[in-house]
């Protein structure tokens, strides 16, 4: 577990869509059409107008109080003064502040609803697409990537929507304040508006740097998550071999690179904000110079413009900060979009079948492999020209050295992968033509590594299948030689086994997984070394169970132990992706030669080949 020491290409980007396109797709995903954002912008514009009106009243009253008079005749820009006293105008100002407060509350409500809806929608979309994706796609999708999608990427999607709402609000406020200043005193306002726009333009180039660094950060973050996941999953072996320091070298390298990147991002952001603040102070000094040059004749008008433009600088700073935050989040959305598109990919041959198999789901299934070959995408061929028949209720043991293709064959029969060539026939129907939902009720699978859910033992055995009754759960537990043991636990079948089954032994997890496979009463049962992690006594009980099931279900048993083959009618030997022998235990003779990384004995395949052809 070592990280690639080379720096990823920071100029690489996700092609095919603009940031705006990605944002609107995200908005539609959250169920918030364009009018929702228009409402935020319109409401903020109203708030900006209220602020401008308050500042205008403040400037006019301040000018009147400065000359110690109740007379506020004259005009401020195009607005003619009224006979209202300063006290009356102050009351009006309070009313305008109230309007501004209402607009702020509405904007906060809209933004909060927007971000909450985005979080729920994105996570639901990720989980739904992942659940619907074929196994050929899921197998290429790292677990750490899925975790990042529903955590980091979702959080950044939520932040992006909030930042866009802030950006729209700041932009609407900024524009409204500038328009108000122009209406009051066009000459002074336009001169300073040019300065404000230049001020914003100076800081925007920093956004390009920030976006490039953020894109780099998303890739580093995913690589770091994968390293941490690997260290976590291999924690026991790492502890036993005493390689704790060495095991984190890859993660430590990525962590150091992330630290350097964080430093650069933080430096760019702070320099951009500092430059904006410094330039804003310069603009204020320029504003004072303009007021001094014009003289006191238009004091009220210039004061109003000054106050509005100072508030505009604050709104502009919010606009600039929101813009940089949006740019910072765009690469996360690019990664989110790319992963969702990956989950949507369907291999050309993965058309969904519609045929329902005749008979009951627990009827033994007939299986025929006709010249089946298989290769993983961009990988070498792992199975070549495999042909044999399995009769309903027959038990077939599958043996061979590591890498012979045993697990790949199991995936093909289960329908998790599709053959590169050839066909698999189940009950006289091509497997790819069978409805996957219907096929799922006919089959069950026991992997070599058993994983439990963080729920009760009963629900672990039921495993989301609503048609599995409590009676089925209890019967399956008995058949897996775990029922009596579960009943002795304090909470019985309501016991929580902990995260991934961490609170119970490996043998108990294995037997619960066996019960899970049996609970649905499958017509085809595929087992990958069902007696691994079991002691001799329990192994005997499982062997007895397999003997009891014999004839009631078709079984394919991937065997890593000779004892597992006791109940098999025939044994298929795989080596280097080819079927080299097939026959009864008596026909194959000494079975020990088929275990381990050794070639089958010379001549074994010849006799078996004839049996297979028969």
How far is it, in rounded angstroms, from Cα 89 to Cα 115? 39
Per-residue pLDDT, 10: 38
Q: Where do we find the tokens 């006191």?
A: 296
**Best mean pLDDT range from 88-97, 278-287, 469-478:** 469-478
- With CA atoms as reference, report the closest residue to 26 among 207, 146, 175, 158: 158
How far is it, in rounded angstroms, from Cα 462 to Cα 99? 58
Q: Is 153 helix (H, G, I), strand (E, B) or coil?
A: helix
* pTM tops 0.75: no
Lateral strand order in the sheet of 381-390: 381-390, 367-375, 421-426, 429-430
Confidence class for position 556, pLDDT limits 50, 70, 90 = very high
Instruction: Give the architecture (CATH level 2) of 367-442+522-613.
Output: 3-Layer(aba) Sandwich (3.40)
In angstroms, what CA-CA distances link 386 with 22, 526, 592? Answer: 46, 17, 23
Q: Does position 235 have pLDDT exceeding 70, yes or no?
A: no
DSSP states of 434-459: B-HHHHHTTEEEE-SS----SS-HHH
How far is it, in rounded angstroms, from Cα 189 to Cα 53? 16
Mean pLDDT for 87-100 is 85
Q: Does position 77 have pLDDT exceeding 60, yes or no?
A: no
CATH code linked to domain 19-344:
1.20.1560.10
Beta-strand ranges (E) seen in 472-590 are 524-528, 554-558, 570-575, 578-583
Q: Does position 9 have pLDDT exceeding 50, yes or no?
A: no
Mean pLDDT for 133-156 is 75
More confident residue, 187 or 479: 479
Mean pLDDT for 44-50 is 89
Confidence class for position 495, pLDDT limits 50, 70, 90 = very high
How far is it, in rounded angstroms, from Cα 18 to Cα 224? 27
Q: Where do we find the tokens 């061979």?
A: 400
How far is it, in rounded angstroms, from Cα 187 to Cα 362? 87
More confident residue, 550 or 184: 550
Instruction: Tell me 31's DSSP state.
Output: T
How many CB atoms are closer than 10 A to CB 262?
13
pLDDT tens, 12-38?
A: 344 445 656 667 777 776 776 678 888
How far is it, in rounded angstroms, from Cα 200 to Cα 174? 12
β-pair partners for 390: 367
Cβ neighbours for 581, distance < 8 A, ≥ 6 positions apart: 571, 572, 573, 588, 594, 600, 604, 605, 607, 608, 609
Tokens of 332: 């996360």
Least confident of 3-17, 209-223, 445-459: 3-17
Per domain, the residue ranges of the chain are 19-344, 367-442+522-613, 449-516
């Amino acid at each position: 577990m070592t990280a690639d020491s080379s720096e990823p290409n920071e100029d690489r980007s996700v092609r095919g869509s603009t940031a705006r396109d990605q944002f609107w797709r995200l908005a539609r995903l959250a169920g918030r059409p364009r009018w929702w954002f228009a409402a935020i912008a319109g409401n903020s514009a109203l708030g900006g107008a209220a602020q401008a009106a308050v500042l205008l009243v403040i400037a006019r009253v301040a000018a009147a109080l400065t000359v110690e008079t109740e007379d506020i005749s004259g005009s401020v820009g195009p607005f003619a003064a009224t006979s209202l006293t300063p006290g009356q105008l102050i009351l009006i100002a309070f009313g305008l502040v109230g309007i501004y407060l209402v607009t702020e509350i509405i904007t906060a409500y809209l933004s909060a609803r927007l971000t909450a809806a985005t979080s729920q929608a994105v996570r639901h979309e990720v989980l739904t697409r992942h659940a619907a994706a074929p196994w050929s796609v899921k197998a290429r999708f790292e677990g750490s990537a899925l975790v990042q999608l529903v955590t980091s990427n979702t959080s950044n999607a939520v932040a992006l929507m909030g930042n866009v709402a802030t950006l729209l609000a700041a932009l609407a406020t900024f524009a409204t304040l500038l328009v108000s200043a122009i209406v009051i005193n066009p000459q002074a306002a336009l001169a300073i508006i040019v300065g404000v726009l230049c001020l914003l333009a100076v800081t925007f180039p920093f956004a390009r740097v920030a976006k490039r660094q953020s894109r780099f950060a998303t890739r580093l973050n995913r690589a770091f998550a994968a390293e941490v996941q690997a260290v976590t999953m291999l924690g026991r072996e790492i502890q036993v071999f005493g390689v704790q320091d060495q095991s984190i070298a890859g993660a430590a390298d990525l962590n150091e690179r992330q630290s350097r990147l964080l430093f650069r991002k933080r430096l760019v952001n702070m320099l951009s904000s500092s430059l904006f603040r410094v330039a804003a102070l310069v603009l204020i000094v320029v504003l004072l110079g303009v007021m001094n040059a014009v003289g006191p004749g238009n004091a009220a008008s210039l004061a109003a413009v000054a106050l509005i433009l100072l508030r505009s600088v604050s709104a502009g700073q919010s606009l600039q900060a929101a813009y940089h935050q949006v740019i910072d989040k765009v690469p996360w959305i690019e990664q989110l979009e790319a992963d969702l598109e990956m989950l949507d990919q369907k291999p050309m041959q993965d058309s969904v079948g519609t045929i329902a198999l005749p008979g009951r789901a627990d009827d033994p299934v007939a299986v025929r492999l006709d010249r089946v070959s298989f290769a993983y995408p961009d990988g070498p061929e792992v199975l070549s020209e495999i042909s044999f028949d399995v009769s309903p209720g027959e038990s077939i043991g599958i043996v061979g050295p590591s890498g012979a293709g045993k697990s790949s064959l199991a995936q093909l029969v289960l329908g998790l992968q599709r053959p590169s060539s050839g066909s698999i026939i189940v009950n006289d129907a091509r497997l790819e033509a069978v409805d996957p939902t219907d096929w799922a009720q006919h089959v069950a699978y026991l992997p070599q590594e058993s994983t439990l859910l963080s729920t009760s033992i009963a629900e672990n055995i039921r495993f989301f299948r609503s048609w599995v009754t409590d009676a089925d759960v209890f019967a399956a537990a008995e058949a897996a030689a775990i029922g009596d043991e579960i009943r002795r636990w304090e909470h019985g079948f309501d016991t929580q086994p902990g995260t991934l089954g961490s609170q119970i032994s490996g043998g108990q997890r294995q037997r619960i997984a066996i019960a899970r496979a049996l609970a649905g009463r499958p017509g085809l049962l595929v087992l990958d070394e069902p007696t691994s992690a079991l002691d001799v006594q329990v192994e005997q009980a499982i062997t007895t169970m397999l003997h009891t099931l014999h004839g009631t279900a078709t079984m394919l048993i991937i065997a890593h132990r000779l004892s597992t083959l006791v109940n098999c009618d025939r044994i298929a030997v795989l080596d280097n992706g080819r079927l080299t022998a097939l026959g009864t235990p008596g026909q194959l003779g000494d079975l020990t030669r088929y275990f381990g990384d050794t070639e089958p004995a010379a001549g074994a395949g010849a006799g078996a080949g004839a049996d297979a052809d028969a």
